[in-house]
Structure 1
């Protein structure tokens, strides 16, 4: 019996600023770039970037996008560093 293994292609690199969910940490971040196969995400309200494996991300839902945009605007209105 032959077993066929389907190889998955790595996800394409998203545009800078794209909101993604890190499914391992259940955390929304803004895509900041790629380096040696790892993606860098940054919290939408500012802060330290973290790395993710591209396969452990997914696009945000409309609800998550609204929450992230609201959090960003609220942080900006408070004068927090972004």
Structure 2
């Protein structure tokens, strides 16, 4: 699993979150809340954050691959 080529792009099962995984220690999330899009930049320092990245990389809990274009479209709506 550690032979991944980054960045990886993922989206949540409910279609309200898009992720750009830069490495096993860092990701960016665009979260849709109502009509707003919120940007979160996470540097994984705690165990739960590191586990979250591993889950996204492994496509667990209903997350799926998405394209760079899908991620960037959501990113462009965040302010």
Same fold, TM-score > 0.5, yes or no:
no
- 1 or 2, which has the higher strand percentage? 2
The alignment's TM-score, normalised by the length of structure 1, stands at 0.39
Bigger radius of gyration among the two: 1
TM-score (norm 2): 0.40
